[in-house]
Amino acid sequence: MKKTTLLIAGALAATLAAFAPAHASGTEKPPRVSWSFAGPFGTFDRAQLQRGFKVYREVCSSCHAMSRVAFRNLAEPGGPGFSEAQIKALAAEYKIKDGPNDQGEMFERPGRPADRFPAPFPNENAARAANGGAYPPDFSVLAKARTYERGFPWFLFDIVTQYQEQGPDYIHALLTGYADPPQGFPLQPGQSYNKYMAGNAIAMPKPLSDGQVEYPKGPDGKPAAPETVDQYAKDVTAFMMWAAEPHLEARKAMGFKVILFLIVFAGLLYFTKKKIWARVHDEAHA
């Protein structure tokens, strides 16, 4: 009986698989990157977040806003770990529009830690006008707003393996996925070819190149991390993941305690239940 059911279920699965059309798009699956924040005990690498912030500041922020992140966030636990003094100095470098003042006029003042990152463009239309019609998305939650299709059966395994880094993997792949277009590939003016972009045509020009951002030097005088496109992409992606989920570390740390508590509690309840029900089972044997 069980066999028949299995057979029918198997036949059904096979039918579904046979019906599934092959994906005929030219986009590649992003390669997996080993992120420090993946897995049940994942934490951000402070040095990496600081490097990623440097990349964001020197490269990305000329087009991409990060309006939901405040300067103070950079000093909060679970983040890049800047000191309060560093944040004060950093915020003061930005000009923040404030007002109206007593005269009813808007004015500019140096930033304070409580301010959020000012956007590079006053509005979406201005951003589009400066970027050939394309709108550079805000970085605040972008790492959670991007993903790629995992497909059957991988999407099921992802629950158990806790693979939640589709967004970061995609962004890292996109940043490193610029290539020469194949012969005859139609590109509009201002577009670039990217292996991982849906449709392979991307409006953002290749943003990173080797040696573009200077990394802090170690004691031996060499950069603390390689100044390569791949490393820049990893660092800025890790920073974006933190920006999108600033409480990730607190969440995972609490999760471990909660689940441990629940498992112990379940164990105690199991033995209590066994003891209480033993009376009933004894009666059954009587």
The contact set with another protein (CB under 8 A) reads 1, 4-5, 8-9, 12, 15-16, 18-21, 40, 68, 73, 137, 140-142, 144-147, 152, 158-159, 162, 164, 166-167, 198, 244-247, 250-252, 254-256, 258-259, 262-263, 265-266, 269-270, 272-273, 276-277, 280-281, 284-285
CB of 166 to another protein, least distance (A): 8
Whichever of 215 and 239 has its CB closer to another protein, that residue is 239
What angle, 0 to 180 degrees and rounded to 10, lies between the N-to-C axes of helices 229-244 and 46-58? 100
E-state strands within the chain: 95-98, 107-110, 192-193, 201-202
- Please, where are the H alpha helices in the chain? 2-19, 46-58, 84-92, 124-130, 142-145, 154-161, 166-176, 229-244, 248-285
Which sign does the torsion angle of CA 177, 120, 138, 198 carry? negative
Provide the token pair at 237.
């992606």
* DSSP 8-state secondary structure symbol assigned to residue 70: B
Q: Which of 190, 188, 225, 193 is nearest to 210 (CA)?
A: 225
Q: Which residues contact 119 (CB under 8 A, 6 or more apart)?
A: 65, 67, 138
Whichever of 28 and 210 has its CB closer to another protein, that residue is 28
CB of 271 to another protein, least distance (A): 10
CB of 204 to another protein, least distance (A): 17
Whichever of 15 and 101 has its CB closer to another protein, that residue is 15
Whichever of 106 and 266 has its CB closer to another protein, that residue is 266
CB of 278 to another protein, least distance (A): 11
Got the DSSP string for 156-225?
A: HHHHHHT---HHHHHHHHHHH-B-PPPTT----TT-EEBSSSTTSEESS-----TT-SPPPB-TTSSBSS
Provide Rg for the chain, Cα atoms.
26
Whichever of 179 and 258 has its CB closer to another protein, that residue is 258
Whichever of 93 and 149 has its CB closer to another protein, that residue is 149
CB of 95 to another protein, least distance (A): 23
Q: In degrees rounded to 5, what are phi and psi of residue 90?
A: -65, -50
CB of 182 to another protein, least distance (A): 23
CB of 127 to another protein, least distance (A): 14
Both ends of the chain: CA-CA distance in Å?
34
Whichever of 19 and 180 has its CB closer to another protein, that residue is 19
